[in-house]
Amino acid sequence: MSWYRNTVWFVKGLREYTRGGYESASKHFNPADVEVDVSGRSFLVTGANSGIGKATAKEIARRGGTVHLVCRNKERAEVAKEEIVTETGNQNIFLHIVDISNPKEIWKFAEKFRNEHKLNVLINNAGCMVNNRELTEDGLEKNFATNTLGTYIMTTALVPLLEKAADARVITVSSGGMLVQKLNISDLQSENGPFDGTMVYAQNKRQQVVLTEQWAKAHRNIHFSVMHPGWADTPAVRSAMPDFYERMKNSLRTEAQGADTVLWLAVSAEAAKLPSGLFFQDRQPVPTHLPLAYTHSPPEDEEKLMELLQEFSQKFKSVSPG
């Protein structure tokens, strides 16, 4: 069944996730949805120094939004900020250096941010795919620390600020790879069995979908969504999946095409009219499970994931400075 699921996902992806899939879908887009002025609204984008994060930040800046870039690498982040300011003419671009794999750093950053800024839209874009099992300085498996726990803490810590805002939104950049994974709460840090970085990443992305659905139930005043950008030509894809990149490079989406649905979810009035908690691809809600794939989980597993992440996050919050 694992082989079947992977094959279905790959064949589906060849049709829909490539540049051709985007070009086909975009024929039905309403350009007016994203031709908006978001001056006065504040957006925070994690992993914003390259790829889909930077492309999203740039398009928001073009529309007048105040953009907070949250990046790990100071040098690359400063280059990205300068590029965004130069190309858009928007001076309201702010840089914050935070390692999303470091839970103590996220708690510290979020507390400071809540005291100094307002926030209308949080975009959880930062992610990683490490192909060998690596531990952070806190002893956390790096994919889990970045993709799941980091996303959980950043969102949880900023929800109180978002709840004060008008038309508050949280968008998380997931992956179609999650379609081949059933939620597994018994081995969150991939300690058991052989380590497959691609499947660990896909499991993290399934976890992000579950997080979004759970948050949507818990916080009715905030619009939550999660999305798949398709297969885009980004630095992360080139470095983490070199074989895939070589095979697919002529069919990959541009960074801007990958970012299109993130932008639409962040700025359009139409997106906010749809129910909170949905999974999107090319501006449309899509199923979170493939037919016959047996990836559905019982509600108690999804609730248990939230409990486990709460326990993890509080442990690091209790020792954080400030």
Residue type, 100: I
Per-residue model confidence (pLDDT) at position 219 = 98
pLDDT band at 1 (very low <50, low <70, confident <90, very high): very low
Instruction: Give the domain ranges of the chain.
Output: 1-315
Q: Are 71 and 98 in contact (CB under 8 A)?
A: yes
Cα gap 84→61, rounded to integer Å: 7
With tokens 């979908």, the residue in question is: 209
Whether residue 176 has pLDDT greater than 70: yes
Instruction: Let me know if 184 is exposed, middle or buried by CB neighbors in 10 A (0-12, 13-18, 19+).
Output: middle
Contact 103, 149 (CB under 8 A): yes
- CA 271 – CA 256 distance, rounded (Å): 18
Res. 249: pLDDT tops 70? no
Contacts of 6-12 with CB under 8 Å at 24 or more apart are: 6/180, 8/290, 8/293, 9/176, 9/177, 9/179, 9/180, 9/290, 12/176, 12/290
The long-range contacts involving 142-145, CB below 8 angstroms and separated by at least 24 positions, are 142/101, 143/190, 143/197, 143/200, 143/201, 143/204, 144/188, 144/189, 144/190, 144/200, 144/204, 145/101, 145/102, 145/103
Closest CA to 88 of 23, 38, 29: 38
pLDDT, averaged across the chain: 91
With a pLDDT cut of 90, the percent of the chain lying above it is 79
Does the structure show a pLDDT above 70 at 214? yes
How far apart are the C-alpha atoms of 318 and 322, rounded to whole Å?
10
Give the model confidence (pLDDT) of 4-42 as tens digits: 445 555 555 567 888 888 888 999 999 999 999 999 999
Q: What is the pTM of this model?
A: 0.93
* Residue positions annotated with a catalytic role: 201
- Cβ distance 107 to 157 under 8 Å? yes
- Of 38-47, 106-115, 175-184, 236-245, the least confident: 236-245
Give yes or no for residue 259 having a pLDDT over 60.
yes
Q: Taken in order 44, 47, 48, 51, is the CA torsion positive or negative?
A: negative
Query: Any idea how long the chain is?
Result: 322
Mean pLDDT to the nearest integer, 191-219: 96
Torsion angle in degrees (nearest 10) through CA of 213, 219, 222, 225: -10
At 247, the amino acid letter reads R
Is the separation of the CB atoms in 217 and 160 below 8 Å? no
- The pLDDT assigned to 236 comes to 65
Helix (H) or strand (E) holding 93: strand 93-97
Residue range 1-315 forms a domain whose CATH class is: alpha beta
Which ranges constitute the DSSP H helices of 117-196?
Answer: 142-143, 151-162
